[in-house]
Amino acid sequence: MGAYILRRLLLMIPTILGIMAISFVVVQFAPGGPIEQVVASLRGEAGGAADRVSGGGSDFGSSSSNQDSGYRGAQGLDPAFIKRLEQQFGFDKPPLERFGLMIWNYARFDFGESYFRSIGVWDLILEKMPVSISLGLWITLISYLISIPLGIRKALKDGSSFDVWTSGIVIVAYAIPGFIFAVLLMVLFAGGSFLDWFPLRGLLSDGVSGAWCAPWSAKFAPSDCVTQTIPDYFWHLTLPLIALSLSAFATTTLLTKNSFLDEIGKQYVTTARAKGLTESRVLYGHVFRNAMLIIIAGFPSAFISAFFTGSLLIETIFSLDGLGYLGFDSIYKRDYPVVFATLYIFSLIGLITTLISDLTYTWVDPRIDFEKREV
């Protein structure tokens, strides 16, 4: 197993390099780079997209057409000023040198500073992380805690009235886009046209500090954490989690049901029952281990989707400033340090999560031996 893990870790290097290289090349041909954002902002055309120009060097690409024919809208501006912008953003270096410097810095987890925010990229990501962690972890937990028992029950009651009406609910839930359901929840329960039961912004209300729940904080007060912070935290998360859980809930439920149905019909289950084993022993001692393999295989993509990409529209609707919205906003503003840093971190976490998933296979079913397989 050690050799397999080492091979997988080594394969992550060219994979990461390929992802970053393709993204870097695409950026070279994308119009409207950060210098154009600054120029447009100076002319009042960008809506403040470039409120701040970073004074530090950088190592990212801009549009090659901009460098060949001048920056759009830059007529009338001092060429020396444009040259200083190129030096500040690092665009005075050749593309290959910028890419090499970026990879070298990222290998040391040095992500530099945001172009248009007075904060380092790593600090910015850590600042937005609590929202994404909250959404990703709770959605995954809720989905698995409800979907797996429900899927098992549907498999055991296959063809019954219970299976039929629960399948109807699951299919309808899967067909409804999460962001549309989020808007419906907002209209019904968040001060829209009907009830005003839930808030629409942030993870905590004004005046409620999450530091109260940190044991190392000087303000740590367990009573305040229990009576104020935790209830307020879940009060803010109720509607976003309901909206995000629909598709994940439906997918995992049907996947669990089909996996268990497939295993229940196999010969070893008939043999186990013929030997006099109880139904619970057959189900959870034999079928469960094999049926759960496909669920485990889908965990990395489900977790990464919920953690990073699946919550963009939900974050926007409920004003939750997390990593999904950060990535979208950075692409829109051409804040390349944030764009490439988030891409690098997301890709790395995705690869590591996939490796952990493979290792979990061997824990669930020791008969699986990746050591004997070619990677």
Predicted local confidence at residue 325, as pLDDT: 79
Q: Check: CB of residue 36 under 8 Å from CB of residue 72.
A: yes
- Domain membership flag for residue 105: yes
In this predicted structure, the answer to whether residue 311 has a pLDDT above a threshold of 70 is no
User: Tell me, what CATH number does 156's domain have?
Assistant: 1.10.3720.10
48 — pLDDT class (breaks 50, 70, 90): very low
Do residues 321 and 128 touch, judged by C-beta distance below 8 A? yes
* Mean of all residue pLDDT scores within the chain: 75
d(CA 170, CA 372): 40
* 151-155-160-165 Cα dihedral, nearest 10 degrees: 20
Q: Is residue 37 part of a domain?
A: yes
Residue 62 has pLDDT above 60, yes or no: no
**What angle is formed at CA 62 by the lines to CA 351 and CA 24, rounded to 5 degrees?**
20
Average the pLDDT over 245-263 and give the result: 82
Asked if pLDDT for residue 57 goes beyond 50, the answer is no
Final residue of a structural domain among 115, 143, 178: 115
Let me know whether 110 and 126 are in one domain: no
Does some domain include residue 152?
yes
- What pLDDT digit, counting tens, does each position of 14-46 carry? 999 999 999 888 877 776 666 666 666 666 654
**Boundary-marking domain end, from 93, 115, 137:** 115
Residues 148 and 95 in one domain: no
Q: Is the model more confident about 13 or about 306?
A: 13
Q: Residue 62 falls within a domain, yes or no?
A: yes
For the residues 308-316, what does the mean pLDDT come to? 69
Domain annotation covers residue 362: no
pTM above 0.75, yes or no: no
CA 284/CA 348 separation, integer angstroms = 35
Q: Is residue 353 part of a domain?
A: no
Rounded distance between C-alpha atoms, residue 325 and residue 311, angstroms: 8
Residue 372, classified by CB atoms within 10 Å of its CB into exposed (0-12), middle (13-18) or buried (19+), is exposed
Q: Within a domain: residue 350?
A: no
Check whether residue 83 and residue 187 sit in a common domain.
no
What pLDDT, on the 0 to 100 scale, is given for residue 293? 74
pLDDT band, residue 266 (cuts 50/70/90): confident
Instruction: Please state the domain count of the chain.
Output: 2
Do 110 and 139 share a domain, yes or no? no
What Å distances lie between residue 139 and 12, 173, 187, 241, 248, CA to CA? Answer: 27, 15, 22, 6, 8
The pLDDT value recorded for residue 170 is: 86
296: domain range?
Answer: 122-333
User: Cβ–Cβ contacts within 10 Å for residue 265, how many?
Assistant: 9
Q: What is the pLDDT of residues 232-241, one digit of tens each?
A: 788 888 888 8
Any domain includes 163: yes
Q: Per-residue confidence at 350, pLDDT binned at 50, 70, 90?
A: confident
Phi, psi of 294 (to 5 degrees): -70, -30
